[in-house]
Chains A and B, each alone.
Chain A
């Protein structure tokens, strides 16, 4: 039974306790790919926020109309529609960012986070609760990406959002901007999160 859903709780769970990236390990493809700079990460965060929130609203609204067998297919069509909108919007108004993010914006459609939230939450709760869940998860996603991209950009390039901040202090570790650095940074970050959670 639904009972009373605490909006605050639905919102905050995505931030830390059930952080989609750092705890549930979902949506790793874009996380690793676009965190080579904070700017790219912000673009991805915006796109995911848009897609997740709109999809959750849509799925929550039509949940009673969709037969069980085709619910996944229907959710995917809904998600794909919003992803296309986000992708076309970026290509039109932020062409440089769109080029930098490349195929990873269209790949949001197979991001486990989005489909996961539709299946696990939006299809079983009202619109307002679904929005709280979506926004919370998006913010949690955002926090994870900001952490990872900041680490990678500062250590790997000596800059943050393109602004040089460690001039002369140390030579940047080029590897952090490369794929290898993404894996290493994520591994350390995930381990640190687990350590603090279990203390």
Chain B
């Protein structure tokens, strides 16, 4: 039951993009087309889950054990950077097709606040290993949901007559704001 709460919370109620403001850069930049948005979302979900789990292990099995909690930030970011490198090399070797669709997003993902954010939040909330997995998958899917909806709306906006100063970033943020408002309707979903 608690897993359900954690998952739904990360996915909808406290959506990673629309509530925690994590992953804004790709959210604004990449979400122009539906299919690339979905691919990006899937790539992020995968890396997020992996990064969160590995970071959890590093924190709880190494840092805490030796009283080195202050190395959290440095170790997490190094883990994430290395992980992304490894994943990119792995995908390039294993499936060139997959690399074509997903691979280009991977370097962007290293500085994605969402990845580090998941790791930090999982530690902050003192989640267990299983809870971290559920949390990171939910967060990744929540990110994917937000980015896909945003892409759909932006495809429509491209055809609309947006006043000059608002074009691009301005109207994107205002749309995101309205989207965030609608997601507020999910509050109280899990209690």
Contacts and interface: CB of A to CB of B under 8 A. Distances in A.
Are A and B direct contacts in the complex by CB distance below 8 Å? yes
A169 B20 CA distance: 31
Interface string B14-47: 0000111111110010000000000000000000
B73 interface: yes
Interface string B104-123: 00000011110011001100
A157 B19 CA distance: 19
Interface in B114-168: 116-117, 120-121, 124, 164-166
A15 to B, nearest CB: 19
Interface residues of A, number: 42
Contacts of A81: 74
B88 interface: no
A167 B73 CA distance: 42
Contacts of A187: 166, 169-177
A25 B28 contact: yes
B52 to A, nearest CB: 13
B78 interface: yes
A110 B112 contact: yes
B111 to A, nearest CB: 5
From B20, B71, B72, B164, name the one whose CB has the most chain A CB atoms within 10 angstroms. Answer: B20
A145 to B, nearest CB: 13
B86 interface: no
Contacts of A25: 28, 169
B143 to A, nearest CB: 13
Given A32-B21, A191-B165, A178 B176 contact: no
A83 B75 CA distance: 12
A38 to B, nearest CB: 18
A76 B173 CA distance: 29
Interface stretch (A1-9, A60-68, A101-109): A101-109
A192 B172 contact: no
B173 A29 contact: no
A180 B178 contact: yes
A180 to B, nearest CB: 4
Given A33-B21, A77-B74, A112-B111, A191 B166 contact: yes
B170 A188 contact: yes
A198 B164 contact: yes
Interface of B: 18-25, 28, 70-74, 77-78, 81, 110-113, 116-117, 120-121, 124, 164-166, 169-181, 184
Interface of A: 25-26, 28-30, 32-33, 73, 76-77, 80-81, 83-84, 87-88, 102-103, 106-107, 109-112, 115, 175, 178-184, 186-188, 190-192, 194-195, 198
